[in-house]
Amino acid sequence: MQKKLNLYTTFAKRVAYPGLSVLISLSLLAALFPERVNAVLESVQDKVYKDLSWVYILLVSFFVIFLLILAFSRMGNVRLGADNSEPQYSFFSWISMLFAAGMGIGLMYFGVAEPMSHYVYPALPGIENPAKDAQLATFFHWGIHAWSIFALMGLVLAYFSFRYKLPLSIRSGLYPILGDRIHGKVGDVVDVFALVSTFFGISTSMGFGVVQLNAGLVHLGVLRESNFLFQCIIIVLVSGLAIASAVAGVNKGVKRLSEINLGAAILLLVFVLFLGPTTFLLSALSEGIGNYIENFASLTFNTFAFEKVGRGWFTSWTVMYWAWWISWAPFVGLFIARISKGRTIREYILAVMLVPSAFIFLWMTTFGNGAIWADVNVAHGALSALVDQPDILLFAFLESYPMARAVCATSIAMIAIFFVTSADSGILVMNSISSANHPHTPKWQNAFWGVLMAVITMMLIYAGGLKSLQTMTLISALPFGLIMFVLSLCLFKALRADELYNSAHLPYGSRNWGGERWQQRLRQIVTFHQKGDIKRFFQEKVVPAFEELREEFAACGIRAEILSGKNGPLSVELNIPHVQIRNFRYGVTTEKKVLSDYLIDEDNTPDVDNGTQYVPVTYYSDGRTGNDIQYLSKEEIIADVLREYDRYINIVADQRNAMMFVDKS
């Protein structure tokens, strides 16, 4: 019966069950004691925002700078997957999915509401041009800084999953410092935190969406009023669509809905742009982008330390947004990672940070500046009067356009679809976290998360506890921001190892080897030399090679000498002295290297007596770092010396290069 009903589970017991216990307990606490819990949480939030707001600012600033350094360094060429992997989705599908999952519903809610709020209640009193400053603040909160948070989280997850073949899980990002311990308790705690944070982030955003949808339907006359019953009906309908989309999978449900919604958003944007004050809006966009670029650095690090009067605005908006985006990072990052396999790090970072930001700038200018212009020139202050009712501001603004009823209906449909795309991608992410990224999870698990999210959201709306969970989510953003900082350091460490691995060449002695004496070569490869082995190598190969060369140089009228201990106790050098030019030197010294723990612990690898080995390495006249010659025979060492001497003579013979070898002492 269980097989027929497909009721088996892939839940990871150490993540799913503790996570469910925590989120259900916190939800019940917020629902049963909403006022008391909210009062405690708000006092904690105020304390955190007041004393630790600078931490949020420095964290987000670090994320932006770190990602830009990666994008424009050689590490930007690394692919999120095998070197020959190709992107799974087209660029348009990829952008539309990450955009819809990340901020779609927020743009509909805040597109008019936030610029109007900054316009009516500016950060500092006496601002010369409040409309321009409102545009700048909105760009700052929704642009590159916000998307850098999502981009960093997604990059960590995608890199370690597709490059290192680790689970698509936040714990995988700690692999460079924890190793296999990521599969233990520390990894479980990180994933439980991510699961709870994702669930509450989606639930509180669902509350925003429900209120705006209800208000829009009342505005159109479809519903009589905004009440709990209508909100429950909206939640059930939207959750049903989200579950169906999640069960259909990324390639069908989520991808298609995201493309439809982005297309609809572009059409609505074009409609408002070209039927509104087009010249003013395009001019405002150009000036706004320039203003944003000009003030980018000061905005990035500004904490209002010297403008006490603006501290309230700063914590209520900037710090709140940074906390909100960080709290959403596990959800959005996991979803972006799932759809970004095959892209280079440079392409990924620049696209995720810049493409949505550019669209958001156009959107916020069209709707935000358009509403401010309409408030001054058409509505004569009517929109400003509604600034404390953000649920209906968008619809009130659209009333000034032709076919207002149809446009409002389209907006409501878009909000609903954005609602669905945020919810279905959230369902997929929660199922992925709770099942340890199992590749084949039963469909009922996706439905389970959708139903649970709908039930808890309705319960919290009824009890008035949604505000408590939102506050709790924002408080939890600070410790998770610090975890993201550690993850970024782990990512850099792994990328450095990746770079060293991909830049590693064949051992010097194997580059031109034709396969002679292969049994002897194999024994050399599986032996890790100690000091005694190096001494024998010098006695049996290096010194005899140098002695034969010295005799042959003498036959050519050139004096050569063999010097021991010039570059360490285990070293020998062939030196040809000169008066005016630098001496020709070909030396062999000994380097100590630490062996990897992975090699030592693995059974089916060469035997290792201890964790170190010694290798013979050459050095030359010009100070260049030499090569490992442990595989060379006596004849091959002689040939290598002659190659270097030939290079030396040719450089000195060239008048243009000779000065490099003049003995300046």
> Residue 595 carries which DSSP code?
P
How far apart (Å, rounded) are the C-alpha atoms in residues 81 and 164? 8
Query: Within 13 A of 615's CA, how many CA atoms are on the CB side?
Result: 20
- List, in order, residues 6 or more apart from 85 with CB less than 8 Å away: 79, 162, 341, 342
Token duo for residue 318: 């900037």
More confident residue, 2 or 11: 11
Average pLDDT score over residue span 129-147? 94
More confident residue, 596 or 377: 377
How far apart (Å, rounded) are the C-alpha atoms in residues 36 and 318? 26
How far apart (Å, rounded) are the C-alpha atoms in residues 115 and 394? 12
Q: Which CATH number, 3.30.1330, 3.30.365, 2.10.260, 1.20.1740, labels domain 2-497?
A: 1.20.1740
Q: Which of 132, 116, 103 is nearest to 390 (CA)?
A: 116
Q: How confident is the model at residue 149 (pLDDT cuts 50, 70, 90)?
A: very high
pLDDT of 159: 93
Q: Most confidently modeled of 224-228, 497-501, 585-589?
A: 585-589
Q: How far is CA 45 from the centre of its chain?
A: 26
Tell me the residue length of the chain: 665
pLDDT of 5: 45
Q: How confident is the model at residue 327 (pLDDT cuts 50, 70, 90)?
A: confident
pTM beyond 0.75: yes
3-state secondary structure 237-287: HHHHHHHHHHHHCHHHHHHHHHHHHHHHHHHHHHHHHHHCCHHHHHHHHHH
Average pLDDT score over residue span 31-51? 85
3-state secondary structure 130-183: HHHHHHHHHHHHHCHHHHHHHHHHHHHHHHHHHCCCCCCCHHHHHHHHHHHHHH
Enumerate helices (H) and strands (E) in the chain, giving the number of each. Answer: 28, 5
List where CATH 1.20.1740 sits in the chain: 2-497
Q: How confident is the model at residue 120 (pLDDT cuts 50, 70, 90)?
A: very high
Average pLDDT score over residue span 470-494? 88
Average pLDDT score over residue span 197-210? 76
| Residue type at position 438 | H
> In sequence order, what DSSP letters do the residues of 484-527 get, joined into one string?
HHHHHHHHHHHHHHHHHHHH----GGGTT--STTHHHHHHHHT-
Average pLDDT score over residue span 40-48? 86
Is the confidence at residue 475, as pLDDT, over 80? yes
> In sequence order, what DSSP letters do the residues of 10-55 get, joined into one string?
---HHHHHHHHHHHHHHHHHHHHSHHHHHHHHHHHHHHHHHHHHHH
| CA distances for 619 relative to 174, 307, 543, 614, angstroms | 39, 61, 15, 16
Q: Decide: 489 and 495 in contact? Cβ < 8 Å.
A: no
> In sequence order, what DSSP letters do the residues of 415-461 get, joined into one string?
HHHHHHHHHHHHHHHHHHHHTTT-SS--HHHHHHHHHHHHHHHHHHH
DSSP helix/strand/coil, 368 = helix
Is the confidence at residue 549, as pLDDT, over 90? yes
More confident residue, 158 or 82: 158
Q: Give percent of the chain with pLDDT exceeding 70.
A: 91
pLDDT of 506: 55
pLDDT of 477: 86
Q: How confident is the model at residue 4 (pLDDT cuts 50, 70, 90)?
A: very low
Q: How confident is the model at residue 580 (pLDDT cuts 50, 70, 90)?
A: confident
The bridge status of strand 561-564 relative to strand 572-576 is antiparallel
Express each pLDDT in 279-317 by its tens digit.
Answer: 999 999 999 999 999 999 999 999 998 888 888 899 889
How far apart (Å, rounded) are the C-alpha atoms in residues 97 and 108? 16
Determine the Cα angle at 116 with ends 110 and 121, to 5°: 115
Average pLDDT score over residue span 85-104? 73
Express each pLDDT in 244-262 by its tens digit.
Answer: 877 776 555 566 766 777 7
Is the confidence at residue 434, as pLDDT, over 80? yes
Per the prediction, the chain carries an average pLDDT of 84
Is the confidence at residue 414, as pLDDT, over 90? no
How far apart (Å, rounded) are the C-alpha atoms in residues 532 and 589? 14
Express each pLDDT in 361-376 by its tens digit.
Answer: 999 999 999 999 999 9
pLDDT of 1: 47
pLDDT of 538: 92
Q: How confident is the model at residue 104 (pLDDT cuts 50, 70, 90)?
A: low
Is the confidence at residue 76, as pLDDT, over 80? yes
